[in-house]
Amino acid sequence: MAGTSDTVDDKTILREYLTRPGTDLYAQVAGDVFIPHPPPTSIWDGSRQKGIVISRRGGGPRGERLSNMALQAKCYGGPDGWDGAEQVASAFCDAIRNGHGTNVTSGRYIGGNIETSGQQITEPDTNPPWRYVLVFFSANLGPTAV
């Protein structure tokens, strides 16, 4: 049964949580949440599409069935530039703060915290420029609650 194994698949749980249809974040990026790397630019381009790229800064399994991670999210604004990046970052931060105790197919988003409010950055060597807001956050994940 999904979410009941001895370990949690933290990347899958987090991605499923962030890409749930009907949320403000889904309205901004749909399924374009990539952990830990975006696909090749022939498939996805941060200057043309809004999206989020998440990578781990630390943490990991805590016990057999819990995961506590320190992460960073690059919230790309696509063709809307800084305004789009700020909209994506705002919806992302709301999702991290407000989803405590949400079950998804592969586990449970227990909760998370935003550590920084975001910093505007342009990816080096991109033309047109890939603009994003960098957000540091933490997330706690575990098996599905019954």
For residue 134, what is the domain's CATH number?
3.30.2000
For 43-79, the three-class secondary structure string (H helix, E strand, C coil) is CCCCCCCEEEEEEEEEEEECCCCCEEEEEEEEEEEHH
Tell me the two tokens of residue 146: 């019954």
Instruction: Kindly give, in sequence order, each residue whose CB lies less than 8 Å from that of residue 49, ignoring residues fewer than 6 positions away.
Output: 32, 76, 78, 79
Residue 4 lies in a domain: no
In a domain, 97, yes or no: yes
Backbone angles phi, psi at 86, to 5 degrees: -65, -40
Q: 120: domain range?
A: 10-142
Structure confidence by residue, pLDDT tens digits, 92-135: 999 999 989 999 999 999 999 999 979 999 988 888 889 999 99
Number of domains in the chain: 1
69 is a domain residue: yes
Question: pLDDT tens digits for 6-28?
Answer: 567 888 999 999 999 999 999 99
Residue type present at position 46: G
What is this structure's pTM?
0.88
Place of tokens 């990816």: 123
Residue 2: inside a domain: no
**In this structure, what token pair is assigned to residue 55?**
């990578």
